[in-house]
């Protein structure tokens, strides 16, 4: 088995690595402390074609795949996770549902602007009382037969890319009826930005991801055309679960980048910082800690690339995606903690990248399926009884 990247993939990885080092790294610290969305950086990423990587050229995409997307996310997160999660959410949660389940008209309407980075899309799933229980959706959508419009009422929370100046729409899950067995019929509906009754709250004050846009949304008698239904009515929850499986591969790549970034910064610091007459990297306690950090990053990379390979080749990847997401996210948290410890007091100062990594890491064990949910999915895939 050859794990080496083809030249095309390797060239993409190198190009994004240089972009992250030369463009993102010098600017992101100041933007992060000001909690500012990195519009200039996002525009440059759009010109590079990063938002269109896994989409066909007919929709303005680059004709790539999830392996290409993962390579980009890893290299971005190696320097900053806010920028990486903006891309990940824009592709996996914003554009991918349109591509996977949209009508040809919906694809032609939205995808060209999404794949160019001119517009961001968001996915509204999580609700204040739901959390990991996505099936507990309370937002409702009633089809007004007289006007041919969906009437939406409810609210969503923790929605990424939902309130930027370039956000074009949010796809929301809503209860649209009752199934034969009495359960909820959940569908997904596209709500364009600026629609009357659609309110976007101010950005959250967050522990990390300070350059990422995250908001609470509310819908009060929001009316959109019936044709804004995305995919099959009543299949919204199932559609979301399939999108989430793919997204976990992307999040695993992002987490791997953060874990590797912690290694990069700590190796550099351990070689320069001297204590008791020698570099601290010469001390076995530091050296072994760094070896463990590299081990986590290495294994995380193998995990997400394996899951991505299965996805790209059309094979089952649900368990592998959960394994990759679980291991890489926990590795990111462990590496961020160890990197901060290696840096000592400087690791607690925001001018050092590891302080930003430490603040950004924890959400990786929560977003797009908590670690507990990943363990549940893995256990189910092993055939254990529910």
Q: Which residues, 6+ apart, have CB-to-CB distance to 73 below 8 Å?
A: 84, 87, 88, 250, 253, 254, 257
Residue 30 Rama label (left phi>0; alpha psi -120 to 50; beta):
alpha
Structure token pair of residue 291: 């070896």
C-alpha dihedral over 224, 225, 230, 231, to 10 degrees? 150
The active-site residue, picked from 127, 265, 320, 368, is 368
Our measurement of the distance from residue 332's CA atom to the centroid of its chain's CA atoms, rounded to an integer in Å, reads: 15
The C-alpha atoms of residue 103 and residue 123 are separated, in whole angstroms, by 17
Residue 215 Rama label (left phi>0; alpha psi -120 to 50; beta):
beta
> Of 266, 269, 309, 307, whose CA–CA distance to 290 is shortest?
266
Strands (E), the chain: 120-124, 140-144, 149-160, 167-178, 184-192, 198-200, 214-225, 229-230, 274-275, 278-279
Structure token pair of residue 137: 């959706």
CA atoms lying within 13 Å on the CB side of residue 339: 32
How are the residues of the chain apportioned to helix, strand and coil, as percentages rounded to the nearest 5?
55, 15, 25
Verify whether residue 368 is a known catalytic residue. Answer: yes
The C-alpha atoms of residue 141 and residue 145 are separated, in whole angstroms, by 12
Q: At what angle do helices 25-34 and 39-47 cross, to 10 degrees?
A: 140
Other Cβ atoms within 10 Å of 375 Cβ, number:
13
DSSP string for residues in 279-346: EGGGSHHHHHHHHHHHHHHHHHHHHHHHHHHHHHTT---HHHHHHHHHHHHHHHHHHHHHHHHHHGGG
Structure token pair of residue 121: 């899309």
Catalytic positions are 368
């Amino acid at each position: 088995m050859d794990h080496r990247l083809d030249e095309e993939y390797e060239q993409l990885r190198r190009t994004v690595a240089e972009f992250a080092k030369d463009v993102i790294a010098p600017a992101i610290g100041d933007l992060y402390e000001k909690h500012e969305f990195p519009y200039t950086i996002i525009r440059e990423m759009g010109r590079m074609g990063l938002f269109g990587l896994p989409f066909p050229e007919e929709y303005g995409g680059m004709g790539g795949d999830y392996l290409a997307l993962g390579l980009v996310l890893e290299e971005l997160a190696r320097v900053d996770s806010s920028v990486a999660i903006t891309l990940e959410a824009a592709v996996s949660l914003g554009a991918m549902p349109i591509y996977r389940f949209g009508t040809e008209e919906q694809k032609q309407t939205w995808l060209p602007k999404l794949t160019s980075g001119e517009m961001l899309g968001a996915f509204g799933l999580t609700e204040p009382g739901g959390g990991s229980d996505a099936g507990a959706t309370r937002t409702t959508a009633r089809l007004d037969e007289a006007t041919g419009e969906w009437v939406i009422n409810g609210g969503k929370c923790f929605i990424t890319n939902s309130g930027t100046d370039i956000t074009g729409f949010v796809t929301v899950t809503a209860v649209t009826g009752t199934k034969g067995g009495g359960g909820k019929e959940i569908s997904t509906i596209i709500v364009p930005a600026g629609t009357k009754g659609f309110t976007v709250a101010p950005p959250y004050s967050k522990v990390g991801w300070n350059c990422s846009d995250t908001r609470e949304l509310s819908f009060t008698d929001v009316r959109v055309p019936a044709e804004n239904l995305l995919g099959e009515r009543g299949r919204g929850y199932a559609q979301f679960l399939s999108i989430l499986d793919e997204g976990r591969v992307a999040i695993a790549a992002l987490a791997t980048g953060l874990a590797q970034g912690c290694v990069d910064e700590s190796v550099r610091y351990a070689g320069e910082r001297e204590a008791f007459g020698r570099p601290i990297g010469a001390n076995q306690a530091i050296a072994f800690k760094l070896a463990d950090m590299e081990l986590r990053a290495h294994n995380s990379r193998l995990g997400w690339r394996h899951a991505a390979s299965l996805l790209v080749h059309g094979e089952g990847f649900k368990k592998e995606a959960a394994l990759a997401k679980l291991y890489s996210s926990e590795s990111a948290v462990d590496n961020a903690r160890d990197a901060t410890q290696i840096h000592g007091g400087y690791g607690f100062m925001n001018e050092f990248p590891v302080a930003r990594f430490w603040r950004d890491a924890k959400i990786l064990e929560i977003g797009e399926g908590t670690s507990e949910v990943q363990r549940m999915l893995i256990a189910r895939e092993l055939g254990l009884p529910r």
